[in-house]
Amino acid sequence: MTIHHRRHAVELVREVMAHGRDSAPPPVLIFEGDRGSGKTALLTGLASLLDGRVPYAHIDLEADGRTGTPEVLYALAFHLGRPCPLYGTLHFPRLAVGKLVMDDDTLDLRDRDRARQQINALLREHRGVDRLVTTLREGAGDLPAVLPASVQTPVRLSTRLLASVIHRLASAAWSSRFVLGRAQKWYGAHGAPRPRPPVETLIDLNRWHRRPGEANNARQRDDLLWAAFRADLAAGLGRRLRRPWMPRCVVLIDNADTRLGRHFLIELARGRETVQDEPLAVVATSRAPFLGHLPEAQQRLLAAEEPLASGRDTDQPRPRWVRYPLPALTEADVVRMAREHPDLEPRIPRQIQQLGQGNPLVVSMLLAAAHEVSSWPEGGEELALALARLEPAPADDTDRRQFTVEERLIRHLLGIPDANPLPVDEMDILTTCAAARTVEQATALAMRSGLLTADGYAGRLGLMFDSLRSADPDADPPPLRRLLLRRLAARDPDGGDGWNRVHALLRDQCRARDDRIGELYHALALDQLEEVSGHVAAGVGAVPAAEWLAMLRAVTRAPTRRPHTAPPAQEAHRLARSTGADPESRLGRVTRLVVGLRLAADPFTGRLRADLHDALKRDYRALALHFPDDQSLLVAEANRHKGWADQWR
Amino acid sequence: MAVRDTADVSPVAGVPPDFFAPRVPRSRRVLRLATATVAVAGLVAASALAVNVVVNSCGSLRSGLTRVDGECVGVLTDVGAHTFEGLGDVQQRIRKQNEIVRAKSAAEKQPYVRVALLSPMTATAKSFMSRAQVRHAVQGAYVAQVRANGSAGTNDPPLVELILANVGSRQEQWRRVVRELERLADDENPLVAVIGMGTSVAATRDAARYLAASPTELPMIAGVATADDFREIDGFVRASPSDTDYVLALKAYLQTRGDLRKGMVVFDESEPDLYVRSLLAAYRRLLKEYLLPYERSFVGAGDPGQRARFLEPIAVSVCTNPQPDMILYAGRALDLDDFVNTLASRQCFTQKPLTILVGATGLTVAPETAARMAQTRITIVTAASVHPSWFTDDATVPVPKGLAAFVETFREAGFGDDDALLDGYALTHHDAMATAVTAIRLAKRSKLSAADVRGQLLNLNKDVVIPSAGGELSYTTARRADPVGKWVPVTVVPADAAPVPKGTPFITG
């Protein structure tokens, strides 16, 4: 599937791959984004673009199991070692020698003479490049297994090919001496303040690895392995390092905001401070900013479409870290994506974008699911049909389970693996919290449940809670909140944590805090249309147009628990008439605006929205006459709805 | 290198699939392309060369021979590595002799030297030398080698190895052959002389001139190259008479024949046959008092595509007045049978006998041709390097002093082919080899070179005796390439058709 709206991100990668005029290392490029924002898909796409053209490694640091710097380095070495035109095949004999020695649990650390003999025998036994490759592959632990499927196959294939091709080479006595001799010798000049026999360093390395808790053993081990990795890389690339037209090798790290990822990246950045002609470009992904403890001068946050080279003072040092929040998909992107489903009803992608809010995963899954729907209802709830569908059956050779599209999205947005059931307690509180308009409201609801303490988030709820947050309370809610609101609507409305009870609670809290907009928002969620319309109508001509419009926009974001059974214009007419207000009066027009804007903000409202927006246009224009200070704002709103009416037609 | 197929479709919208592909600089691409092109071209050329070598090789790949126009040409240093048609037994004898030479020299830690027989080793319908002449030439050289080395290599050093250099039936491949010979001159066991040289054609002259100017200074001792053109070539001598010598011998004979007064010159107009041209010039220069004022020409062996054409008009012209009583034939012996048969059909044979005079290395006439000549009153008088009766037990004419030893060794070799001596090729090539060996031994030094041997060629006179069979040969600065002391006997065919001088024949010098 094609990835949209990520061209600039790919261009940034090429910028860090290119050799600059100065010899300073390129910054680590970090793509930030929420779950489903397409970070993993982007790295997979980058891997596909790099494959066969530039050596690269692609690892996911969210893998379970005990992994540390050595395992990550083995994985990097193993994947960078795949053959690539112009670059040849990179070998990592120093790293492999280090691993061989580290893994020897039988080394006698009390008798140094015996330890020397053991190491010499061990290295003699393992002379051969194919064994080194196997060594690195085994050492990478679980890391290769979490690579995307598209990348795993060639890894296995190339490993077999590599092993078979070099088997003969490795069997030759001279090549074995060459491969291990130089790698082994390297340890004589590293790991200690002054040169000494390599075997002494290797004995120390074994000790550091087997007793990582003592002193700073783990740090010394990691430093030495990093140096071996870099030395192997530099030796493997040789003169290619100095060819300005040859891009750097690339390391793609998914989920770098894990503890392992942070540690690894910081070690990597520290190691390249003094390096000339840095051979690696590092690209990582993160759900949240994780560089808070680093000086701001070392970081740079790029705006959407901002190139790496722009706005930087050439006299200032290059930042070590560049963060680029992945922008959400635009409506135009979604329309382009919908072209992959040419039979799809053309208004459905707009509804999907309204729900997905540019989240690539949500958009792509809903588009695929909608494509499978054979007919659409006359009224609304089209997206409910798509969400209720089963996702495509997984391939036989995967352990992926099949869920409805809705559950798949919830699981993905919350990061819940297939093997685990949805956590009942957390889901309940999250569903309740979905009613909250602000973070403070949501936190208060969570604390009321007891799962959230005043000291902070407890367990997975904290991570899940992030997906509900929205920086602007008046912005359209993120997709997870939309989905959870549907769950909230499905509860008994008058039950303990039912729709009415929760919104009434929140309305009362807002009233107590004198939060008038919040109060009206939750009142509208409780379908108290007359109260809301009356208050909004009272502001017509009484408050400035901008202020009135902002209030109207914020209040009409209120969700509804009722299904949309009729076309939007009819539904709006019916609801407005139910208040008994004169349709031609100011109140009647305001009521239609409140009802219409609330329906237009709901992605589950029917797709036949042209008439709805036409009516909104007319009411905005009529009410504009009552705002002598600035009619133009309402006229502009009217024109905007005229445009939308054309788009939905 | 295993490289995965890269996707043709980009996974990212707006990004081409090769977005990350290294942009190889144009100059580098051109260099890589040029390197690849050159490598491929080199590979193709090397493959073609290898295929060419394999396809065109003769015998083993390292025999030194290359197939050109169906003939194996080149220098056969290992004489047994390839067998030329009709030469198998001779080559085996030479190979054994060479082995003896190498073994003996190794045992005594004495270097041996090489002498190359440069000659056509193959014969075709278009060649200047018949297959028999080729064989006889090699036989003669071998006999001289055996005599030079002594049986089982018992003679004084340096012993001599004989190698064969085939220039092709029409000697057209001389250039590649002489270049190879030049390389052998620098060998540890150097090539120090070239004998044979083929017949008197332009290729022989060109090869001789090339070697004359070569820094190797290889000496050349010709077997049957009789053309006067060779006389002034440095480092070149011959064991046969020159064409001038032949005509002088004929002139001496004519002085004994009062019945032969009117001669008509018939010549082969083929270019570039130097023998014919040289013989024709000698006739015109030395026998002009006998010549009628008209001549006739034909196209003979010099032009293989037009062989023996235009002979019939000659048969007519000999019967028209003034009728010649002798034909001064300036053509190849190969065409003589055709010429005789044509003349045999002349209408005036009953009115007047006809004598054909010719100078040649040796002339053999088939019995049926001789019978026809007798019937049609045709006689051939030839001045040659040999006389047929020299090789019979009851010679009717005197024989040179060294002939017996040659004949004895020849017969000991057991070729089973006594008639081989009659065409003179064996004797002249024997004498050429003997001359070369004598010069080698005269120049004997610890490190012998071809230049040393060449320097001794014109010192082969006075007290230096060449063990030659065709006379007591010597070479002087006055006669340069032409030998002194070479016997040029006159032969009459049929034997009883005309009187034959009984005394010592014409001797050059």
* Contact flag A49-B14 (C-beta cutoff 8 Å): no
Q: Is the pLDDT of residue B164 over 90?
A: yes
The verdict on B305 touching A (C-beta cutoff 8 Å) is no
Share of chain B above pLDDT 70, in %: 95
In angstroms, how far is CA A60 from the centroid of its own chain? 12
Lowest-confidence region among A182-186, A431-435, A447-451, B441-445: A447-451
How is domain B65-241+401-475 classified at the CATH fold level? Rossmann fold (3.40.50)
Q: How confident is the model at residue A197 (pLDDT cuts 50, 70, 90)?
A: confident
* Contact flag A53-B20 (C-beta cutoff 8 Å): yes
Say which DSSP state B201 is in.
B
Name every chain B residue with its beta carbon within 8 A of the beta carbon of A158.
2, 4
- H/E element, A57: strand A56-60
* Same fold: B65-241+401-475 with B244-384+489-507: yes
Residue keyed to tokens 């055996």: B146
Q: What is the pLDDT of residues A465-506, one digit of tens each?
A: 666 666 566 678 888 889 999 999 998 888 888 899 899 989
The verdict on B15 touching A (C-beta cutoff 8 Å) is yes
Q: How confident is the model at residue A615 (pLDDT cuts 50, 70, 90)?
A: very high
Other C-beta atoms within 10 Å of A626: how many? 17
What would the DSSP string read from start to end of A462-527? Answer: HHHHHTT--SSTTSPPPHHHHHHHHHHHHS-TTSTT-HHHHHHHHHHHHHHTT-HHHHHHHHHHTT
Nearest to B6 among A2, A53, A157 (CB): A53
pLDDT at position A313 is 56
The verdict on A251 touching B (C-beta cutoff 8 Å) is no
CB-CB contact of A365 with A391 (8 Å):
yes
CB-CB contact of A24 with A318 (8 Å):
yes
Euclidean distance between CA atoms A51 and A555, whole angstroms? 50
**B114 or B61, which is more confident:** B114
Euclidean distance between CA atoms B427 and B470, whole angstroms? 7
Helix, coil or strand: residue B68: strand
Name every chain A residue with its beta carbon within 8 A of the beta carbon of B10.
2, 49
**Three-state SS string across B203-259, please?**
HHHHHHHHHHHCCCCCCEEECCCCCHHHHHCCCEEECCCCHHHHHHHHHHHHCCCCC
CATH superfamily of this structure's domain B244-384+489-507: Response regulator (3.40.50.2300)
pLDDT at position B320 is 86
Euclidean distance between CA atoms B334 and B341, whole angstroms? 13
pLDDT at position A156 is 37
Mean pLDDT of A162-173: 38
Residue of A nearest to B28 (CA): A245
Provide the residue ranges of all domains of chain A, joining segments of one domain with +: 7-325, 329-411, 423-526, 539-649
Q: How confident is the model at residue B429 (pLDDT cuts 50, 70, 90)?
A: very high
Nearest CA to B439 among B459, B424, B421? B459
Euclidean distance between CA atoms A181 and A254, whole angstroms? 36
The verdict on B21 touching A (C-beta cutoff 8 Å) is yes
Euclidean distance between CA atoms A108 and A119, whole angstroms? 10
Nearest to B20 among A50, A88, A336 (CB): A50
Q: What is the pLDDT of residues A348-386, one digit of tens each?
A: 999 999 999 888 889 989 998 998 888 888 888 899 999
pLDDT at position B486 is 95
pLDDT at position B13 is 85
Provide the residue ranges of all domains of chain B, joining segments of one domain with +: 65-241+401-475, 244-384+489-507
- B158 preceded by a cis bond (ω within 30 of 0): yes
Most B CBs within 10 A among A4, A10, A29, A164, hence the mutation to make, goes to A10
**Structure-token pair, residue B35:** 């390197």
The verdict on A86 touching B (C-beta cutoff 8 Å) is yes
Residue keyed to tokens 């632990």: A141
The verdict on A45 touching B (C-beta cutoff 8 Å) is yes
Q: What is the pLDDT of residues A528-538, one digit of tens each?
A: 999 999 999 99
Helix, coil or strand: residue B162: strand
* Contact flag B22-A6 (C-beta cutoff 8 Å): no
pLDDT at position A8 is 92
* Contact flag A2-B6 (C-beta cutoff 8 Å): no
Name every chain B residue with its beta carbon within 8 A of the beta carbon of A3.
11-13
The verdict on B54 touching A (C-beta cutoff 8 Å) is no
For chains A and B, what is the number of CB pairs under 8 angstroms?
Answer: 81
Mean pLDDT of B223-238: 92
Looking at the DSSP bridge assignments, the partners of residue A498 are none
* Contact flag B4-A86 (C-beta cutoff 8 Å): no
The verdict on A161 touching B (C-beta cutoff 8 Å) is yes
Euclidean distance between CA atoms A613 and A591, whole angstroms? 15
Q: Is the pLDDT of residue A347 over 80?
A: yes
* Contact flag B20-A84 (C-beta cutoff 8 Å): no
Euclidean distance between CA atoms A574 and B142, whole angstroms? 130
Q: Please report the residues numbered 329 through 348 in chain A whose beta carbons come closer than 8 angstroms to any beta carbon of chain B.
A: 336
